[in-house]
Amino acid sequence: MAFHIGQKVVCISDKWRNPHTHECPVKGRVYTIRAIGGPDLEGQTGVIVEEIRNPPESWRLLGEVGFRAVFFRPLVERKTDTGFAILEEIRRRETVPAREPALTAPQPAQSGDLS
């Protein structure tokens, strides 16, 4: 699967080799691809995600350890997600108080007016 930097993805497996040595993605969570590397010695492409910042490893050419791309899938925005976003925006606009009309200065009394 071809990913691109900035793409939102969902982790579909969290069976990491060394989950105790680094912070790892969690199955079901959404991440943003920050970098793409590979293939590694096993021919696997790796990704680094924006939401996780692990320390660089001296033995890694690019420093930070990546995660296998096959453990992610693209986030698919459903039409209902867009519809709910539109409804939420309408609701937000309706809860903003309307501006009061500007007050007009009182008009001076005209001559001959008894008030």
Give the model's confidence band at 103: pLDDT under 50 very low, under 70 low, under 90 confident, else very high: low
pLDDT tens digits for range 25-59 = 999 999 999 988 876 667 788 899 999 998 887 76
Domain positions in the chain are 8-74
For residue 13, what pLDDT is reported? 92
pLDDT score at 44: 80
Burial label for 36, CB within 10 Å (0-12, 13-18, 19+), is middle
What integer pLDDT is reported at residue 101 of this predicted model? Answer: 60
Q: What integer pLDDT is reported at residue 111 of this predicted model?
A: 62
**Please, what's the largest Cα pairwise distance for the chain?**
100
